[in-house]
């Protein structure tokens, strides 16, 4: 083969090989490269009340990194109901329960005849609960980012066939302190390995709050334990040369109220399982009642006079609670007043069941949540430190729905429609970005689902259209899902495979040309 011909063909090979590596039509380009491979670690502490650090007088040395070198908010307004599974889902999607469809820790979908029960993974891992809206970890994986989740909600359930590269969903463990310590170590390893987003969860604080109360000496010691683990975390980040490259965010989902364990509201004594109720699910300060035919008005009238509770028919919940727009909502929503709570079997979560009445078996709590978000003790926290946050700044309150857009901005990924307000969070971020990543100035690019006019950019508030139909559990069942893939099966690997195939093809072509001459 003549040298010029060989040189020309090799040049053509290089051009065509690059062309063959172009993304397929169905591939969305990944985000802009993160400066110096920045990483994001999110730590969710269940039940971390907004005033624990100041109120309890515990050892808080580990929180000083946030307070001195990072940012915090005065407090975070939680959602209604102020329960774990709905709150976790709001954090990861930026929408209220009426939209994401995880309506409580315990609820029932009549259309599917399926119950959702907090500690029963056979019910919570059913794929149909989780297919819409898309959580932040799925969007990140679609964009080619490496994501690891540790005990975080149902991140282990594939969304449209995709789940994080490392995905571990929620499961209860009595050794909450040991599990949290292990989760911190695993998070550090994932960050060291180059993961872009690591999300870890602990129910240590929530467990102690329920068992001993939020104002107890045990809670003071527990906050001290958390502080020590945070101190170790920041030391490890520094020793691994990751501290200046990692955004660390510590958040809660709700607070906790002290209750008298001896005085619960006993719905079993007020309602008849045989004649009144098909299902009554809940615990703590919130109950969903699914009435038998023709019994809604009777139940409403009977419970409306009971001290310490508020009862609404479906569709009559105050608009500011954002709990009217899902067709799977129960017939009656019952909310306890501060300090009151409902008697329930903590292990099963039902007060009255259509088949039988469950007797009380669990120890009665000293701390409860699930109340309406205007109860001060339901507020929670937002702390953050890292290269993308300001230093030594405390801003005003934010809402739980605001946190999703912060995560998307840090990861440089597009946010899906959400209920958050950028004006509330932009002051936390270095440079005071006028708009979140991916928004080019047209407010329609990232529609907000807020039914009232709150959608802010650069401090201006504009009216927005009403939200679309809910996409929660009552929606039609999703199509059969293919086997789940991980984030590594996205853009970068696909491109590499295209390059290899292209090179092999042209190598064979050159061999044929060479042999023919």
CA distance 436 to 458: 10
CA distance 403 to 379: 14
CA distance 70 to 265: 43
CA distance 441 to 160: 30
CA distance 165 to 328: 32
What tokens does 249 get?
């965010």
What tokens does 123 get?
């019910």
Nearest to 418 by CA among 29, 100, 73: 100
pLDDT of the residue at 493: 46
Q: Which residues of 394-424 are buried (b: 16+ CB within 10 A; e: fewer)?
A: ebeebbbbbbbbbbbbbbbbbbbbbbbbbbb
What tokens does 515 get?
């042999």
Nearest to 514 by CA among 8, 6, 10: 6
CA distance 287 to 296: 15
What tokens does 114 get?
């399926």
CA distance 91 to 113: 27
Cβ atoms of 378 and 371 within 8 Å: the answer is: yes
> Please, which residues bridge with residue 367 across strands?
258
Residue holding tokens 């794929």? 127
Rg of the chain in Å (alpha carbons): 26
For 360, half-sphere exposure in the C-beta direction (CA atoms, 13 angstrom radius) is 15
Between CA 74 and CA 444, with CA 457 as vertex, the angle to 5 degrees is: 130
Q: Distance from first CA to last CA of the chain, Å, rounded? A: 6
Residue ranges, the chain, pLDDT below 70: 1-36, 344-362, 440-517
Cβ atoms of 247 and 77 within 8 Å: the answer is: no
Q: Which residues of 138-155 are buried (b: 16+ CB within 10 A; e: fewer)?
A: bbbbbbbbbbbbbbbbbb
DSSP string covering 62-76: GGHHHHHHSEEES-E
Rounded to whole angstroms, what are the CA distances from 135 to 95, 158, 164, 414? 10, 11, 11, 12
Residue holding tokens 């409902």? 342
CA distance 251 to 345: 29
Q: What is the pTM (predicted TM-score) of this model?
A: 0.80
What tokens does 508 get?
């064979």
pLDDT digits (tens, 9 = 90+) for 397-436: 999 999 999 999 999 999 999 999 999 999 999 999 999 9
The helix (run of H) or strand (run of E) holding residue 53 is: helix 52-56
CA distance 88 to 77: 14
Residue holding tokens 């969860």? 201
Nearest to 118 by CA among 77, 79, 86: 86
pLDDT digits (tens, 9 = 90+) for 110-129: 999 999 999 899 999 999 99
Nearest to 139 by CA among 493, 416, 480: 416
CB 240: neighbour CB atoms within 10 A?
A: 14
Nearest to 169 by CA among 154, 187, 183: 154
CA distance 340 to 336: 6
Strands (E), 375-469: 382-385, 393-395, 398-399, 456-457, 460-461
The helix (run of H) or strand (run of E) holding residue 87 is: helix 84-93
DSSP string covering 169-199: -----S-HHHHHHHHHHHHHHHHHTT-SEEE
For 157, half-sphere exposure in the C-beta direction (CA atoms, 13 angstrom radius) is 20
pLDDT of the residue at 19: 39
CB 194: neighbour CB atoms within 10 A?
A: 9
């Amino acid at each position: 083969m003549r040298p010029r011909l060989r040189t020309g063909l090799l040049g053509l090979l290089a051009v065509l090989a690059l062309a063959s590596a172009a993304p397929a039509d169905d591939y969305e380009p990944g985000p802009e490269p993160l400066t110096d491979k920045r990483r994001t670690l999110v730590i969710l502490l269940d039940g971390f009340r907004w005033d624990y650090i100041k109120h309890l007088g515990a050892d808080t040395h580990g929180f000083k990194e946030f307070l001195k070198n990072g940012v915090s908010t005065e407090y975070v307004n939680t959602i209604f109901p102020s329960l774990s599974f709905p709150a976790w889902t709001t954090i990861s999607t930026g929408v209220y329960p009426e939209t994401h469809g995880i309506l409580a820790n315990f609820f029932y979908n009549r259309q599917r005849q399926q119950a959702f029960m907090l500690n029963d993974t056979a019910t919570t891992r059913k794929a149909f609960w989780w297919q819409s809206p898309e959580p932040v970890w799925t969007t990140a994986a679609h964009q080619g980012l490496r994501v690891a989740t540790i005990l975080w909600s149902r991140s282990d359930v594939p969304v449209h066939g995709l789940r994080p590269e490392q995905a571990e969903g929620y499961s209860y463990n009595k050794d909450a302190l040991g599990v949290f310590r292990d989760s911190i170590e695993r998070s550090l390893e994932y960050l060291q390995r180059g993961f872009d987003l690591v999300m870890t969860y602990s129910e240590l604080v929530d467990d102690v709050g329920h068992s001993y109360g939020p104002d107890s000496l045990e809670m003071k010691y527990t906050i001290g334990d958390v502080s020590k683990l945070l101190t170790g975390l920041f030391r490890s980040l520094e020793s691994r040369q990751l501290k200046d490259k990692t955004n660390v965010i510590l958040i809660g989902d709700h607070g906790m109220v002290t209750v008298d364990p001896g005085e619960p509201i006993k719905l079993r004594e007020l309602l008849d399982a045989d004649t009144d109720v098909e299902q009554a699910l809940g615990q703590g300060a919130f109950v969903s009642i699914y009435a038998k035919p023709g019994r809604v008005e009777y139940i409403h009238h009977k419970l409306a006079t009971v001290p310490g509770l508020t009862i609404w028919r479906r569709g009559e919940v105050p608009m500011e609670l954002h709990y009217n727009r899902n067709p799977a909502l129960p017939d009656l929503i019952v909310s306890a007043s501060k300090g009151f709570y409902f008697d329930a079997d903590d292990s099963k979560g039902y007060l009255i069941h259509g088949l039988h009445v469950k007797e009380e078996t669990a120890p009665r709590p000293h701390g409860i949540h699930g109340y309406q978000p205007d109860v001060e003790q339901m507020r929670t926290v937002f702390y953050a430190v890292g290269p993308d946050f300001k230093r030594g700044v405390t801003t005003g309150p934010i809402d739980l729905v605001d946190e999703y857009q912060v995560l998307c901005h840090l990861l440089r990924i597009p946010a899906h429609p959400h209920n958050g307000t950028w004006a509330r969070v932009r002051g936390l971020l270095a440079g005071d970005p006028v708009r979140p990543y991916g928004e080019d100035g047209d407010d329609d690019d990232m529609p907000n689902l807020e039914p009232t006019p709150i959608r802010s950019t650069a401090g201006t508030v504009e009216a927005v259209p009403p939200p679309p139909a809910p996409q929660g559990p009552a929606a039609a069942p999703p199509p059969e899902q293919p086997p789940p893939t991980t984030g590594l099966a996205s853009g970068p690997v696909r491109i590499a495979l295209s390059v290899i195939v292209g090179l092999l093809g042209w190598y064979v072509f050159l061999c044929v040309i060479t042999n023919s001459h």
